[in-house]
Chains A and B, each alone.
Chain A
Amino acid sequence: MIDEMYIRGVQVNYYFVCKTKLWLFSHNVSMERESDAVRLGKLIHRSVFDRDEKEVRIGPIAIDAVRRGDVIEIREVKKSRAFEKASYYQLLYYLYYLSRFGIKAVGRLSFPKQRRSEEVILNEDAVKEIENVLKEIPGIVEGEMPEPDYKPHCRKCAYFEFCFT
């Protein structure tokens, strides 16, 4: 799933989580090799999607999708409710991206741990919102690294030691 557009999806996510993280990630300063959080995410991902659904490739983006009648449903699985907003916009971005190709899709944000899922629909307002975010990201990325600002979730972030040592 690591393709150009997927990365943009993650960028949309990080835009809401933390601007420092967005900047570091966009400049390839990643901690990936060691982040357990990332690995855990991949694991959950695998166990949930292994059966019926398949990965769909459209241009540079690959997503997990199921067909429901004539509508494609794309899914984003989250391990916790934290960053719900970030996940929501990331999914919205995928829907937006698909809509540029004339593909009608709905999103589903699911939280296996809470046995809960939510439908995400791309309406006109959502298109405006996502376009605004997409406009702002390059400015943040091209500027200097935003100073880390301590937030409650920093201690669990892969960049914690990097930011606060």
Chain B
Amino acid sequence: MKRRNFYIVSDGRLKRKENTLYFESGEDRRPIPVNAIYAIYALGSLTVTSKALSYLAREGICVHFFNRYGLYEGSFYPREGLVSGEVVIRQAEHYLDHDKRLYLAKAFVEGSIMNMARVLRKSGEDDSEVISALQALADAGRIDEVMGAEAVARNAYYSKFDSILQEMKFERRSRQPPENEVNAMISFGNSLLYSAVISEIYHTQLHPAISFLHEPMERRFSLALDIAELFKPVIVDRLIFNLVNRKVVTEGDFDDRFNGVLLNENGRRKFVKAFNERLEKTVKHRKLKRSVSYQRLIRLECYKLVKHVLNAEKYRPFVMWW
């Protein structure tokens, strides 16, 4: 059976009875066969019984929790994963050695810049300003300078959003709280993507807390922040352009009661559905000569990192090729 992501939007309880999980919400009781679950995204308020939790742990299923604003709260990351002391030690070595860390930090930003540029070109926009940040990146000798180059590219990138978006205004990036609909979607989409990356890291020997671009202390899963940078333009931003310009998501899908703008439950349903369709969408991989889903591309990125730290093959970041 193919395992899928489960997005639980409404409030309820997750229970285990024999070898099945049940999601209960009011009168509703829905069985979820455990071998059909890849990861669970809890978007409503979800109660998980300890029996259900240990079952999920045994099956190696991550559960990602979001608060009522749709922002990432935390993950249940089962311990019995694929552990290789060797990989973790070598991963740490690439963090501790300044040049090795700088190489990886730059690689993530380079990939991120290339993907931003690619997304702009696909929308018929000029990407020269974004691309020119590559020079500052090449000159960077410290992590904060790498971060700086990324920020310059991202600002140039965001400045084109209003010309791509036909139905809604973006203006500028605002986070806590998001000031308008587009910002609300970016925050939500980035949270979903971050969770998806955590799930992929779980299925490798990489340690989720050892990161290179972001400080390892920033979050428990800071490596997911690094890898997510590459995929934000490709997965989240393009999805938003699509939903807005095709009028799938409209003003009525938001709530502005919380001194800021957020997707409401209906809006979230639409968004997660479209988000998951993106993750499952496939492209033909040029090297592997087989089709792989966007979600799988994230896994492949993890594999490339494992190979890099094992000195088997130098890491080159993912750049959208289609």
Contacts and interface: CB of A to CB of B under 8 A. Distances in A.
A147 interface: yes
B304 A28 contact: no
Interface of B: 60, 81-87, 203, 205, 285, 287-288, 292, 296, 299-300, 303-304, 306-307, 310-313
B82 A165 contact: no
Interface string A139-164: 00000110110000000000011101
A29 interface: yes
29 contacts: A28-B84, A28-B85, A28-B86, A29-B84, A29-B86, A29-B310, A31-B82, A32-B82, A33-B81, A33-B203, A34-B203, A144-B310, A144-B311, A145-B307, A145-B310, A145-B311, A145-B312, A147-B312, A147-B313, A160-B288, A161-B288, A161-B296, A161-B300, A161-B303, A162-B306, A165-B287, A165-B288, A165-B300, A165-B304
Contacts of B86: 27-29
A79 B303 CA distance: 28
Interface in A1-58: 27-34
B82 A162 contact: no
Contacts of B81: 33
A33 to B, nearest CB: 6
Given A27-B84, A33-B82, 9 more contacts: A28-B85, A28-B86, A28-B87, A29-B87, A29-B306, A31-B82, A145-B307, A160-B288, A165-B285
Contacts of A34: 203
A30 B303 contact: no
A131 B285 CA distance: 42
Contacts of B296: 161
Contacts of A33: 60, 81-82, 203
Given A29-B205, A34-B203, A144-B311, A162 B84 contact: no
A144 B299 CA distance: 23
A27 B312 contact: no
Nearest to B318: A165
Report the 5 A-B pairs with minimum CB-CB distance, sorted nearest first.
A28-B84, A165-B300, A145-B312, A162-B303, A27-B86
A29 B312 CA distance: 13
A145 B287 CA distance: 21
B87 A164 contact: no
Nearest to B303: A162
B297 to A, nearest CB: 9
Nearest to B90: A27
Nearest to A33: B60
A144 B312 contact: yes
Contacts of A147: 312-313
B80 to A, nearest CB: 10
Nearest to B203: A33
A160 B289 CA distance: 11
